[in-house]
Amino acid sequence: MNTGRAHMILMLVTLAAVGLSVSLWTRSAAGRLAESRGKAAPEVATASASDMNYCTGDLKVILKRVLTSCGLVSGGSSRGCQPLQARQVASMSGGDFNALFAPLSGRAAILQFDRDSSDLDQSAVELLEKSFADRRGASYFFVVSRASPEGSVEHNRDLSHRRGSIVLDAIKAKFQDPDIDQEVGLLWLGEEFAQLDQQFCQWQRSRSSEPCNSADLNRSSFIAWIDCRL
């Protein structure tokens, strides 16, 4: 075999090897791309310029989870997240969860109840009706009910559930809104998660003329219209 022919064969073998390597790399890259597209992206939300100033990314994540996982009202009966579920929905400490709502201090309201009671008094009814009527174009109404830490854990779970339900019933009775089932998100937290501290005594509450402490605050339903672009 002469030298020229040997060089030609070597060149052809080299080109074939390079072509095979490129083909294998391309298939591998395509496979990785397809795999990455198939995986769910992390749940991240950012505040849009068109959002209200309280619509932080974290609040939008929580809002979306509550509306999809815990409860818009469905089929004539309320769905919602109980305390253990609420921890998973929030994926944060109780203090951090409460801090999300700090920018809503001028708009949210706290409906207070008597100890071991789920009855709305007249001042709570008036504040609820005023708050629900003051929609300002918002899309979602939050009802977050709690109980103070007297009694058993199970009793307080049930008590906060009843408080949230009575708020919803009062809204339905007063406003006859056919879209309530798509507007109201419910959380009942019992005594186990996201207890309100003394600073919330400064917020609009149904018993603003009475002394306030943490136990008083947590015999309550926190209510607020929230408008965020999800």
As a whole number of angstroms, the distance between CA 128 and CA 47 comes to 28
Looking at domain 57-226, which CATH architecture does it have?
2-Layer Sandwich (3.30)
As a whole number of angstroms, the distance between CA 212 and CA 191 comes to 18
Evaluate if residue 154 carries a pLDDT over 60.
yes
As a whole number of angstroms, the distance between CA 145 and CA 15 comes to 72
Token pair 């504040």 is found at 127
Query: What's the rounded mean pLDDT across residues 18-43?
Result: 44
The pTM for the full model equals 0.72
Query: What's the rounded mean pLDDT across residues 195-203?
Result: 93
Percent of the chain at pLDDT > 90 equals 40
Domain ranges of the chain: 1-39, 57-226
What pLDDT score was predicted for residue 25? 43
Biggest CA-to-CA distance, the chain: 108
- The region of weakest confidence among 19-28, 117-126, 132-141, 195-204 is 19-28
Please choose, from the candidates 158, 152, 160, the residue with its C-alpha nearest in 3D space to the C-alpha of residue 195. Answer: 160
What pLDDT score was predicted for residue 11? 55
Query: What's the rounded mean pLDDT across residues 4-27?
Result: 50
Residues 44-77 have pLDDT tens digits of 554 344 456 778 887 787 777 776 666 554 444 4
Residues 6+ apart with CB under 8 A from 209: none
Evaluate if residue 37 carries a pLDDT over 50.
no
Evaluate if residue 42 carries a pLDDT over 60.
no
Percent of the chain at pLDDT > 70 equals 67
- Residue 127 tokens, joined: 């504040």
pLDDT tier at 146, thresholds 50, 70, 90: very high
Evaluate if residue 16 carries a pLDDT over 80.
no
As a whole number of angstroms, the distance between CA 78 and CA 59 comes to 22
Evaluate if residue 121 carries a pLDDT over 60.
yes
Evaluate if residue 1 carries a pLDDT over 60.
no
Evaluate if residue 15 carries a pLDDT over 70.
no
What pLDDT score was predicted for residue 29? 41
Evaluate if residue 124 carries a pLDDT over 90.
yes
228, β-bridge pairs:
none
As a whole number of angstroms, the distance between CA 170 and CA 148 comes to 22
Please choose, from the candidates 198, 74, 218, the residue with its C-alpha nearest in 3D space to the C-alpha of residue 145. Answer: 218
What pLDDT score was predicted for residue 69? 65
